Amino acid sequence: MISVARPIALLLSASLLLAGCGDRLEQFGGPTMGSSYSVKYVRSASGPSVEQARHEVEGILAEIDQQMSTYRADSEVERFNALPAGSCMALPASMLELVSFASDLSKDSDGAFDMTVEPLLNLWGFGPQSRGNQVPSADAIAAAKVGVGQQHLSVSGQQLCKDAPVQLDFNSIAAGYAVDRVVTRLGELGVGSALVEITGELKAVGRKPDGTPWRVAIEAPRDDRQIAQKIIQLDGLGVSTSGDYRNYFEKDGKRYSHTLDPKTGAPINHNLAAVTVVDESVLRADGLSTLLMVLGPEAGRAYAERHDIAAFFVTREGQGFVSQGSSRFRELFEQQEK
């Protein structure tokens, strides 16, 4: 399975109200990617049954797992990861598109986003081949970084090639990509209103049967319990949150986050606790939330403003937290608060 452990946007309870013309709210869900997924959709008289919709959704999730899971030796990505430097391998078009997307993000952020950090994740105890949490030596980090770098990957036709022994890890964008795929497929089946959540990444389209908008809550960055910090209404938008408060360890009084800075080879070391990105593409929101989390509060906010990204930053200040939305985020959601 793909394993994605990250903060989530809380789904606010939706009433199973009946509406006119026979439309009603259906829902289902289950385990996926080391976490879970849920789908709520408004079913019209000609819309898909729960059984049909579940079959389609779980087929998509199974395909993504077969292609991108670093927890199964027979997946496409693990077969590629096992190849030595100088190798090429034919991959599905969807995987090549995601690699190209990640490469663009990496170049645009000067390497802050990188899908080849798995050796470092393993070294620190956060990866699929880890041997427990540890603080590695500088020499061990330097040795692991030899096999890290998005620039070592290149797409040639239908093949992905590597000029160094890099290992791909799609966990930073797989869930967002999955949400986009599921929402698109439901639309093809005639679903015009739905709320899809996969491991915390989500997207809402349309409205609930009673005509009210889908509402989700951005989670406060606490590791002891889930608390809604900000509630937003969505239609045609996706949400992704990255943070350091779900997956970390402490050693000698210091906190080590699972989010690594590819440049240093070590966990991020700043006071940005969480960042949420809202975008029409959940894939893009997923990648950007990780990128901004790596950049930190100052550089992250500057990047968001420069690229007109709707982002909501939560930073640690003393014993509390301070939140700030980017210009685009405020433009989208300030009116909802009035």
- Residue burial 243-270, b: 16+ Cβ < 10 Å; e: rest: bbbbebbeeeeeebbbbbbbeebbbbeb
Specify if 94 maps to a domain.
yes
Specify if 129 maps to a domain.
yes
Joined tokens for residue 329: 């985020």
Neighbour-count burial of 18, counting CB atoms closer than 10 A to its CB (0-12 exposed, 13-18 middle, 19+ buried):
exposed
Contact 227, 218 (CB under 8 A): no
Dihedral of CA atoms 40, 186, 66, 101 in degrees, nearest 10, equals -100
Specify if 28 maps to a domain.
no
Q: What is the domain-level CATH number for residue 137? A: 1.10.3980.10
Q: Which residues contact 13 (CB under 8 A, 6 or more apart)?
A: none
CB atoms within 10 A of CB 29: 15
CA separation for the pair 287, 167 (Å, rounded): 18
Joined tokens for residue 319: 């014993």
Strands 201-205 and 194-198: antiparallel
Specify if 93 maps to a domain.
yes
Specify if 312 maps to a domain.
no
Overall domain count for the chain: 1
Contact 212, 242 (CB under 8 A): no
Specify if 125 maps to a domain.
yes
Specify if 227 maps to a domain.
no
Contact 95, 76 (CB under 8 A): yes
Structural domain for 121, as ranges: 81-162
- pLDDT digits 0-9 by tens, 137-147: 999 999 999 98
- pLDDT digits 0-9 by tens, 216-251: 988 767 655 556 678 999 999 999 999 876 678 888
pTM equals: 0.91
CB atoms within 10 A of CB 187: 14
Q: Which residues contact 306 (CB under 8 A, 6 or more apart)?
A: none
Neighbour-count burial of 138, counting CB atoms closer than 10 A to its CB (0-12 exposed, 13-18 middle, 19+ buried):
exposed
- pLDDT digits 0-9 by tens, 248-295: 888 888 888 889 999 999 999 999 999 999 999 999 999 999 999 999
Specify if 204 maps to a domain.
no
Contact 214, 234 (CB under 8 A): yes
For the chain, 338 residues long, the average pLDDT of each consecutive 10-residue run is 50 41 85 95 94 98 96 95 97 97 96 95 88 91 93 96 95 97 98 96 95 88 64 95 82 87 93 95 98 97 98 90 94 76
